[in-house]
Copies of this chain bind each other. A is one copy, B any other.
Amino acid sequence: MRSHGVICFAILLAAFFFSGPIDGREIRGQVATGDFEWNAQNFAGFYYDLDKDLGTERITTYVTYGKLEEPNGIVYSTTAQANDFEFEDWGSYNVIGFLGKKYFAGYTENENMDGWTQMLYQESTDENSLSEEQLQTILMDSDAEMTITASRPLKLAEGYELAIKYIDSSGMLVELTKDGMAVDSKILMPSKDGATMADKTYIYRTDEDNQKGLVIIAIHFKNAVTIQNQTVATVDGLWQISDTPTPVRIDTEFGKMRIASVSADTIVLDNKDYNIALSKNRDIELLGNIRIRTADQEMMDDANPLRYYIYLDEKCNS
């Protein structure tokens, strides 16, 4: 019976895995013959934000006698774009798509706004992550209102929590912990008359390798009051990026491509040292989960050049 049970479970598991749709595993870009350029519009594997029309990732091919010759027969590039925080008074930051995923690339000055409200930019020492050859994952970006109390702290990502320690007419003491250990504390005065952005915003800065004094957590308090011995604070702005950077250093390899240059706003990869032959019926590892597939076509001549596309090898949940 026991072995029957195991076999039955294995069969059920197999049925579960193989009955689902499998076509969608491969997200293909537009079909090319010869030189081509894919972007977020003809390749759904690249990062694109419909609401704000953001996303500049590009892969360009230059075919020479059936080959993508090293060092730049194939080039990937991506450029940071300014994006507003959900809590708009803080101004803006640079967002960048990198290998199909969205990252934070640095705080930027929004010249259409007062400087003093742009605290994340103002308070950061090395505010441009790309200049330090790194990026950060964006963990929280919200302007939804929520309340916290002395007994119910604000849970953040990566083990951080912000707790109210005490509150009186002169201000509110908050304490930041990571995995239960205190790492910072500050006094804010969100409800005083004429409270400024600085009075209302909790900021936590840290060093990430060579990038010094980077704001990784910002929390805006709309107010903080004590009602019948119960302290209640209303948060209406929230921002957190990872305290562990994603390095994008020159010469790092991702499959057959490597980072050729990193500027203050742009990352470029090329295929230095890797010639890529575009011959028929090939499935070629290219860059992260992005691959090249060439057609197994019967006719191949000047009138019927080789068809090929890039595709994202989507892992789904299996």
Contact = CB atoms under 8 A, between A and B. Distances in A.
Interface string A272-312: 00000000010000000100011111000000000111001
Interface stretch (A13-21, A56-64, A132-140): A13-21
Copies in the complex: 2
Contacts of A307: 50, 53
Contacts of A314: 21, 24, 316
Contacts of A308: 50
Contact of A315 (B21, B41, B315, B318): B21
A44 B20 contact: no
Given A24-B27, A27-B27, A28-B44, A51 B295 contact: yes
A252 interface: no
Interface string A164-195: 00000000000000000000000000000000
A281 B52 CA distance: 12
A261 B36 CA distance: 37
A24 to B, nearest CB: 4
Nearest to A31: B41
A125 interface: no
Interface string A21-37: 11110011111000000
B293 A50 contact: yes
27 contacts: A16-B317, A17-B317, A20-B315, A21-B315, A21-B316, A22-B317, A23-B100, A23-B101, A24-B24, A24-B314, A24-B315, A27-B27, A28-B44, A28-B50, A30-B41, A31-B41, A42-B42, A44-B44, A50-B295, A50-B296, A50-B307, A50-B309, A51-B281, A52-B297, A53-B297, A316-B316, A317-B318
Interface of A: 16-17, 20-24, 27-31, 41-42, 44-45, 48, 50-53, 100-101, 281, 289, 293-297, 307-309, 312, 314-318
Given A17-B317, A28-B48, A50-B309, 15 more contacts: A20-B316, A20-B318, A21-B289, A22-B317, A28-B44, A30-B41, A31-B48, A44-B44, A50-B295, A50-B296, A51-B296, A52-B297, A53-B295, A53-B307, A317-B317
